[in-house]
Amino acid sequence: MRRILITGGAGFVGSHLSKRLVSEGHDVLCVDNYYTGNKENIAPLMGRKNFEILRHDVTFPLYVEVDEIYNLACPASPIYYQHDPVQTTKTSVHGAINMLGLAKRLNARILQASTSEVYGDPKVHPQVESYWGHVNPIGVRSCYDEGKRCAETLFFDYKRQHGLNVKIARLFNTYGPNMHPDDGRVVSNFIVQALQGKPITIYGDGSQTRSFCYIDDMIEAFIRLMNTPEDFSGPVNLGNPGEFSILELAEIVVSLTNSSSEICFKKLPHDDPVQRQPDISLAKEKLSWTPKVNLEDGLIKTIRYFELLIKN
């Protein structure tokens, strides 16, 4: 049994990680300021003796006693991270500094939830960890992209300078229950629009591609990465290498929901990546991990969640 801190623990990914680790018998401290996190996501855990929640903003120092830290705190949806871009950068950078400082004091291992957005609009396809990326440092998405890139820099500098046991996961598109219905991400957008019979909104011509990983697969990868030997820090791509166009995703969602929604097209947002597909060779080698849930099965589970959410 370990004492584990999860920042952003009431968010989409954090809540699933909290549930998994609590179910395994670990003492879990969930920290969240509820900017995008939701208490409903962790409500089933509230009565558990090995689960504790603390309202806190990671841009301020935190003094607790733990063995491991999963640093997930940061809005991941463009709608939310562009609403207050200065705070988004501070969350990634100051948050990383504060959590690394805590890990250093405690000699705790620490995992950073980074992102495929560190590759920007990539010129290499599929993306491999050795690729440095093609990122606009002054665009509307830069607060998130560059904030995460700087966090990775800090993690490796703490490793080199202080010998800290760090892990960096680069998450590609992840979906599943507990996603916010209004977060602006493509899977939740399409499902909610389809269930409500509204037009399915595609930005651009729909030819841009993404790779979609179901949340249970992602959580398994997180835990395996955290438990790798100290000499492996990553960064490691985590995602499903199956590549789908946005138009294909829309058509699948319409079919699975039996929706009458029509597909409409709008202007592509600035700096929106044209291609996203992870090369997961490193994850296969170091974590013995590959995603198990295919897109259609994962979407069916996610649709059921949103059907209940919308009814209530």
CB 72 within 8 A of CB 16: no
CB 9 within 8 A of CB 172: no
CB 147 within 8 A of CB 88: yes
CB 257 within 8 A of CB 301: no
Inter-helix orientation angle 246-257/295-311, to 10°: 60
Catalytic-role residue among 144, 158, 175, 214: 144
CA dihedral 171, 173, 176, 178 (to 10 degrees): 70
Please give the backbone phi and psi of residue 274, each rounded to the nearest 5 degrees, phi first: -80, -35
CB 16 within 8 A of CB 178: yes
> Taking the mean position of all CA atoms in its chain, how far away is CA 24?
21
Verify whether residue 63 is a known catalytic residue. Answer: no
CB 83 within 8 A of CB 183: no
Q: Which residues contact 49 (CB under 8 A, 6 or more apart)?
A: none
> Taking the mean position of all CA atoms in its chain, how far away is CA 170?
8
| Whole-number Å distance between alpha carbons of 284 and 289 | 5
| Whole-number Å distance between alpha carbons of 312 and 310 | 5
Q: Are strands 3-7 and 166-171 parallel, antiparallel or unpaired?
A: unpaired
DSSP 127: B
Q: Are strands 236-238 and 174-175 parallel, antiparallel or unpaired?
A: unpaired
- Please provide the size of the chain in residues: 312
Q: Which residues are catalytic?
A: 144
